[in-house]
Amino acid sequence: MAVTKDTIQAGDGKTYPKQGDKLTMHYHGTLASNGQKFDASRDRGRPFSFTIGVGQVIRGWDEGVMTMSLGEKSVLHITSDYGYGPRGAGGVIPPNADLDFEVELLRIN
């Protein structure tokens, strides 16, 4: 299906990630069905870094975060086929769960 985005706070509007860039961001993940939190980078006291567009993260992040500009804070609504699909994840994300992630793009390297 897809990933959709609701912008909470606009970014700079000119600096966007490209495939292969290393990104640093904060995120807060919840189940779309009931709002139950399953993960948050701030709970660990440090942002999360990854390389975009190379399959290190779920498809919904690879596609959704590419539409964000530096400093932007948005909610990504991710259908299960762009998330963890029928396998779920880590015993906290059930199979075929739609997900919501509040994400803040802090750095693009």
Q: Given 38, 50, 98, 108, which residue is catalytic? A: 38
Show the tokens assigned to 34: 């009931």
The catalytic residue among 52, 62, 82, 101 is 101
Closest to 61 (Cα-Cα) out of 38, 84, 90:
84
**Catalytic annotation on 50?**
no
**Catalytic residue status for 101:** yes
* Residue 58 is among the residues annotated as catalytic for this protein: yes
Catalytic residue among 39, 81, 98, 100: 39
Is the alpha carbon torsion for 20, 21, 24, 30 positive or negative? negative
Give me the catalytic one of 48, 52, 58, 62. 58
Q: Are 69 and 14 in contact (CB under 8 A)?
A: yes
Distance CA 11, CA 58 (A): 22
Catalytic residue, chosen from 48, 62, 82, 84, is 84
CB 40, CB 62: distance < 8 Å: no
Which residues are part of the catalytic machinery? Answer: 27, 38-39, 58, 84, 101
